């Protein structure tokens, strides 16, 4: 929900207007002013509700998104309607990164795992900017490199680390991006993130709740003891930390 102008609280909260701007995205925040000024008119603000889709698998990538809030989940879709979350993104990055590497159709389904806002840019405009070879290009390639590193780690993680430790890692990744202690997360979502059976996830969530790390009820999760969750997560979380 966008704030109305002149709603009287600007003295109490002097930041909202700025805070909802494109610079809340950490990539755009790092652009030199002159580059940002050139790009800003090309950006359009959009918002996404819970579970709203940004891209379907195989969909042509006409736009990219610079998130400023929310959590975006990237799901690989397998036969038999099986889906596995491969990555989570937030305001640290860009949704639609494959276009940078010449891939024009989305290899994954991207959806809002927590409601959020983003600034949309047309792919042609992005390509034009990348051709200029300025700071945005460097930042995007750096970001692509980080994601590649994390994906490699995730493959190793999924194949070797115990489910309960991976579960703690994903909960922390979500928590970092939602930036609120409570968020919406069904056990089906969590099972998709972990590529696990729902029954196993129910058992793990129950154990974490019993140990006082989280509170889990009716599709909402509250992080109660973040430090303990970090200690319980597998080593891979160190790479994911924002
Ligand atoms: Zn791991």
101-122 confidence digits (pLDDT tens): 999 999 999 999 999 999 999 9
Query: Which range is least confidently modeled, 28-32, 81-85, 190-194, 212-216?
Result: 81-85
Spacing, Cα 205 to ligand 1 middle (Å): 17
Residue 13's pLDDT band, with cuts at 50, 70 and 90, is: very low
Is 177 in contact with 68 (CB distance < 8 Å)?
Answer: no
Q: How far is the CA of 166 from the centre of ligand 1 (A)?
A: 6
pLDDT band at 5 (very low <50, low <70, confident <90, very high): very low
Write out the two tokens for 143.
């970001």
Task: Summarize pLDDT for 122-181 with one digit per residue, the tens.
Answer: 999 999 999 999 999 999 999 999 999 989 998 999 889 999 999 999 999 999 999 889
Distance in Å, CA 27 to ligand 1 centroid = 26
Burial of 156 (0-12, 13-18, 19+ CB in 10 A): exposed
Q: 153: CA distance to ligand 1 center in Å?
A: 7
Share of residues in the chain with pLDDT > 90 (%): 75
Residue list, CB under 5 A from ion ligand 1: 157, 161, 234, 236
Residue 228 Cα to ligand 1 middle (Å)? 16
Instruction: Name residues whose C-beta falls within 8 Å of residue 66's C-beta, 6 or more positions apart in sequence.
Output: 22, 25, 27, 28, 43, 94, 95, 118, 119, 120, 121
Query: pLDDT averaged over the chain?
Result: 89
Question: pLDDT per residue over 184-212, tens digit each?
Answer: 998 888 998 888 999 999 999 999 999 99
């Amino acid at each position: 929900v966008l704030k109305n102008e002149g709603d009287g609280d600007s003295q109490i909260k002097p930041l909202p207007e700025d805070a909802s701007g494109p610079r809340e995205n950490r990539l755009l925040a790092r652009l030199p002013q002159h580059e940002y000024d050139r790009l800003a008119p090309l950006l359009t603000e959009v918002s996404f509700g819970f579970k709203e889709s940004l891209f379907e698998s195989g969909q042509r990538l006409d736009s990219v998104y610079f998130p400023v809030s929310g959590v975006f989940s990237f799901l690989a879709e397998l036969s038999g309607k099986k889906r596995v979350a491969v990555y989570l993104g937030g305001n640290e990055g860009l949704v639609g990164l494959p276009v940078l590497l010449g891939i024009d159709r989305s290899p994954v389904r991207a959806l809002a795992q927590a409601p959020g806002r983003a600034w949309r840019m047309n792919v042609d405009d992005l390509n034009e900017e990348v051709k200029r070879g300025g700071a945005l290009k460097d930042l995007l390639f750096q970001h692509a490199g980080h994601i590649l590193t994390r994906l490699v780690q995730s493959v190793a993680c999924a194949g070797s680390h115990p489910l309960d430790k991976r579960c703690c890692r994903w909960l922390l990744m979500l928590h970092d991006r939602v930036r609120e202690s409570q968020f919406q997360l069904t056990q089906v979502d969590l099972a998709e993130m972990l590529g696990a059976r729902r029954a196993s996830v129910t058992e793990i969530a129950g154990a974490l709740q019993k140990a006082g790390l989280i509170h889990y009820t009716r599709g909402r999760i509250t992080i109660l003891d973040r430090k303990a969750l970090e200690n319980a997560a597998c080593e891979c979380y160190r790479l994911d930390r924002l």
